[in-house]
Amino acid sequence: MLSHLGNVFVLSAPSGTGKSTLAKQLVKEIPDLDFSVSFTTRRPRPGEVHGRDYFFVDDAEFDRMVAQDGFVEWVRVYDRRYGTGKAWIREQLATGRDVLLDIESKGARRVHEVIPDAVMVFLLPPSSRELAARLRGRGDESAEQVKIRLEYARHELAQWESYDYLVINDTVDQAYRRLESIIIATRCRRERMGAAAKNILDSF
């Protein structure tokens, strides 16, 4: 188990739900919240940057990290692998900063095992029809790929009971406000604010 001072937020969602856009906005606008950059063996999409969006590695490098126990969790999705590196997360939490992990449900459950007080957040599309429209609109998916992604989305959505918070992405603004609220509220929890409360009490 990783011991920590900062909070860990896990954000999962079916592909196409808008998770990455929202996650980027959260770390940009909320102070002391950093994005955990995952390792992946999939190839970069246009515009994706190594070290910002993902650490893009080949299969041999990924195998080496697995062998050296370098991942909090890693999963295979289709023919690709994704993993959350241990070293960076550990350092981040020790400094008291919050970490946002953007991972799918299988990886999320593994993080929850390693970090039991991680705050588990699940982002949902408003409906199957809306998700299909968004996947087609993305333009880099064939009809067959959309079908596979919808089937996988159904499988992901069935995991909703593993999460603490469920946020429907009906509009980006509403979804953002809800996610931001979950982070601000978590920072107000008694476990986090106890030292501050004691200081105030001592001033009386």
Q: Which residues bind its own copies (CB under 8 A)?
A: 124-129, 150, 153-154, 157-158, 160-161, 163-168, 177-178, 180-182, 184-186, 188-190, 193-194, 196-197, 200-201, 203-204
- CB closer to its own copies, 6 vs 125: 125
- CB closer to its own copies, 93 vs 124: 124
- CB burial of 96-123 (b: ≥16 within 10 Å; e: otherwise) equals ebbbbbbbbbbbbbbbbeebeebbbbbb
- CB closer to its own copies, 52 vs 155: 155
Alpha carbon distance 89, 103 (integer Å): 14
- CB closer to its own copies, 58 vs 151: 151
Start-to-end CA distance of the chain, whole Å, equals 38
- The encoded tokens of residue 111 equal 């993080």
Using an 8 Å Cβ cutoff, are 141 and 78 in contact?
Answer: no
At position 151, the amino acid (one-letter code) is E
- CB closer to its own copies, 5 vs 166: 166
- Compute the least distance from the CB of residue 92 to its own copies, in Å: 23
Alpha carbon distance 112, 152 (integer Å): 21
- Compute the least distance from the CB of residue 202 to its own copies, in Å: 9
- Compute the least distance from the CB of residue 39 to its own copies, in Å: 29
- Compute the least distance from the CB of residue 56 to its own copies, in Å: 31
- Compute the least distance from the CB of residue 51 to its own copies, in Å: 31
Q: Cα 30 vs. chain centroid, distance in angstroms?
A: 15
